[in-house]
A and B are shown apart, each in its own frame.
Chain A
Amino acid sequence: MSPREAARRRWARVAWIYGLLLTFGVFFVGPFLMGFLASLKPDPLEWPFTLRFAQVSPKNWAAAWRLGRAGSGDPWLGGMRPGREVVLEVAYFWPEDTPPPLEAAVPRRRPGAGMGAVFETPYAADHVRLLGPELVEKAPARLGEKEGYAYRFRLRVVYPGEGPFLERVPLDLEAPRGALYLGATLDPTRFERRGRVASWDNVVPGFVGYVFHNYVRAFREARSLETGESLFLRWTLNSFFLAAVKVITTLVFASMAGYALARLRFPGRQALFLFMLFSMMVPGQVTFISNYLVLKDGIFGLSKLFGVETLLNTYTGLILSGLVGAGAVFIMRQFFESIPREVEEAALIDGATPWQTLFRIVLPMSTPALGAVAILTFQGTWNEFFWPFVVLTSPREIYTLPLGLLSFRNAYGQVGDWGLILAGGFFSMVPVLVLFAVFQRYFVEGVSVGALKE
């Protein structure tokens, strides 16, 4: 084989491997990417599934930004304030010489179904006035075989006098049969009645309100029945709070326990270690019944000393029952075993207690293990479902994000509002994904360390 031939073969092999890697990449990332794109659509289950839709067109981004700023001064989330006016232009193809009769209306439409339907928000139809459509331009045009004219109309939505802030201003525009929609300042959310009615959910959406329509709805529509605050925001904050607390308790207590197991001699050390391994293998379904009862009684009645009857539906209960996981202790122990003893021995000779040695000398050089434990704990708590699901049942305000997602799924799954469900799911992924992007090394390390058994 000539050297040239050999080189060619080597290159071919490399090319095939990259091809294979790319194929795997599509497999691993594809469903997420498609799901994310679908979560931007008004109807994520449309058939056929398209990748070119109104929400990804830069023209609409710019229009949504302008309309939002015109409506309320907020180009991001839009809305409409009294004394403002927005202008929308629509173009139709129409074969005849006289302009097509268009009927425009601001419909009285309830925002969403499920949880969102409970709340009474001011109807735009009661406050705004619609001027137009007035003809602004007429030009001869051809559409395929057909000769005709392109008519451009202008619609003005004005909000005179005083009144409440309107989150959304819907608009319906009905064209006669034979008129073909050519384009608009902002593409309509959907077409109804065989394409004759162009319907905008909101003509003053703002950039975020248009592109991330379902995400904004997830925050706006799921609201607490008592206080009216956004439930979705509440759940997110709850999850953050719990994850932060649990990371701190786990870091402190797991290093303490791990150090004792790795370095100190005490009776029953080996037995404790084996018992710990055993506890990691027993499924949570075995222990949750008793743990539920223990929290119900406030940990053998101890909570009554603090005037708390039961620890069910409290974060105290959830935190106390998960102070430190056996897995984290295991990782810390393995790490401490792997570092040389000499440093500590010097400290011990100087008369330092194990407590001081751990916190002054060993921990400052344990950042890789602490990082891995922190990341894995955060991810674990953020994603944890079963135990919070048992402990936190009511009110809905105390849910964590995964529990909130379940109530989302149950509230909107029946009516088929998949945009909202997907948006909720993707939003809940963001913190973990950000964390992963920044600290990916720790994720992988944590998996490898955590799985190594002695």
Chain B
Amino acid sequence: MRIKARTLEALYALLLLLPFLFTLTVFFLYAFVRALYFSFTDYDLFNPPRFVGLGNYLTLFRDPLFLTALSHTLAYSFVVTALQTALALLVAMALNRPLKGITFFRTLYYLPSVVSTAAASLLLLWLFQRTGLVNQALSLLLGHLPHLGAFALLFLAFQTAQVLWERRRGLTVPFFDPALALFSVPLALLAAWGLGAAGILEPWEVRVEIPWLPTTARFLGIPYPLWAIILMNTYTTIPTLMVLFLAGLKGIPRTLYEAAALDGATPWVMFTRITLPLLRPVLFLVITLGLIGTLQLFDQVLFVGGSGGAPLEATITLAYYVYGNVFPSGATPRVGLASAAALFLAGLTLLIVLLQRRFGVSERGWSA
């Protein structure tokens, strides 16, 4: 008997899909359904699960540690997404021009994002130690405030002199004319350095020793150690998002900007009226990816915590809460509770994706 071509094709598809279906079924579908089931039970890995209904979900919202983890996760997620989206867009716009050597800069900027979270966390730990580079840089900056002040004043002086000179020649120049500033800035730098070298300006004795990690102190409601993680992760994710923005920016026709320039539009108007609206699909994609990624923060919490590091209540996130309840040190695992928290996290993620689908423009428009 001959098999129909249609059936044969389907059989081939099954054959080709088999390994993928194995992974997807056993390690995703089955796992997802089981997590759902566990979340309605009281399970400790050793005794058989006991059905408790919605009990776990109710317990979650009475657990102060969960609420801390939730607030940390949300705060972290929103701050990092906002920071990295804005900065990545800024860098992408700086890179989006036909200049010599621009590919070199693109490669250079991509560097932080190829590094593992483990290695990045170790770097973070070192940077934010009490005598780490961050505190040293802050000390250096604060100690040289006189020099910075002198630099600012000198720059204003040189710039004013040049602008007045140009205006006397009958040319109309704006005060912060870039061509003139190109001379004022190096001159002011040189003069400020000279004042320091001549001993007229003395650096102040400043020693910033902010304990970034072993503390529960908060800044703007977010603990210091979490700020350290926020800064580090923003820094390592910018390059990836920058690549996405660059791809999006390439799709905007140059002629639009040229026409706007002819009509006398300022750069700000061009940014808000041309770049942003046309970039909206990419913007939504970047924000979604950012939110999904940041909601799962785990590795850094583990690295930054531990011996001599940050206290857990200052860094705990939802992902860590889940792990900590499945493998607690010296206590019975609370798998049911952990599953409920994990599903809550998944629900949060899906909610964000759905919101993006609802309010974002369909991505079809720009990928073509």
Contact = CB atoms under 8 A, between A and B. Distances in A.
Given A38-B126, A266-B14, A279-B28, A289 B339 contact: yes
B32 interface: yes
A32 B308 CA distance: 23
A409 B12 contact: no
Given A432-B116, A436-B114, A424 B19 contact: no
B23 A321 contact: yes
B20 interface: yes
B127 A290 contact: no
A231 to B, nearest CB: 15
Contacts of B97: 17
Contact of B115 (A253, A287, A321, A432): A432
Interface string A411-448: 00110101001101110110011001000100110011
Interface stretch (A44-52, A141-149, A200-208): A44-52
Nearest to A354: B12
Given A12-B182, A265-B9, A428-B116, A294 B19 contact: no
Given A290-B35, A410-B307, A451-B285, A31 B127 contact: yes
A165 interface: no
Interface string B256-294: 000000000000000000000000000001000100100
B309 A355 contact: no
A284 B86 CA distance: 28
The interface residues of chain A, by DSSP majority, are classed as helix
A260 B343 CA distance: 31
A425 B131 contact: no
Given A285-B342, A324-B19, A28 B239 contact: yes
A49 B296 CA distance: 35
B309 A413 contact: yes
Interface stretch (A61-69, A91-99, A115-123, A378-386): A378-386
A260 B105 contact: no
Q: Which of A432, A440, A447, A451 has the most CB of B within 10 A?
A: A451
Please report whether the interface of chain B is mostly helix, strand, loop or mixed according to DSSP: helix
A444 B105 CA distance: 13
A139 interface: no
A421 B31 contact: no
Nearest to B307: A414
Interface in B109-157: 109-112, 114-119, 121-123, 125-127, 129-133, 136
Interface residues of B, number: 103
B126 A422 contact: yes
B222 interface: no
Contacts of B165: none
Contacts of B136: 47-49
Interface string B207-236: 100000000000000000000000000010
Contact of A294 (B30, B114, B115, B239): B30
Interface of A: 5, 8-9, 11-18, 20-21, 24-25, 28-29, 31-32, 34-35, 38, 44-49, 249, 252-254, 256-257, 259-261, 264-267, 269, 272, 275-276, 279, 281-294, 299, 321-324, 326, 329, 353-355, 358, 379, 382-383, 385-386, 389-390, 401-402, 405-406, 409-410, 413-414, 416, 418, 421-422, 424-426, 428-429, 432-433, 436, 440, 443-444, 447-448, 451-454
27 contacts: A12-B179, A16-B181, A21-B95, A21-B102, A24-B109, A31-B133, A32-B112, A45-B129, A253-B19, A260-B13, A266-B13, A267-B10, A275-B29, A282-B28, A283-B346, A286-B35, A289-B31, A289-B338, A321-B27, A322-B27, A383-B115, A401-B118, A421-B126, A443-B114, A448-B244, A453-B363, A454-B367
| Across the A-B interface, the 7 shortest Cβ-Cβ residue pairs | A383-B116, A425-B122, A12-B179, A287-B31, A257-B20, A402-B118, A290-B31
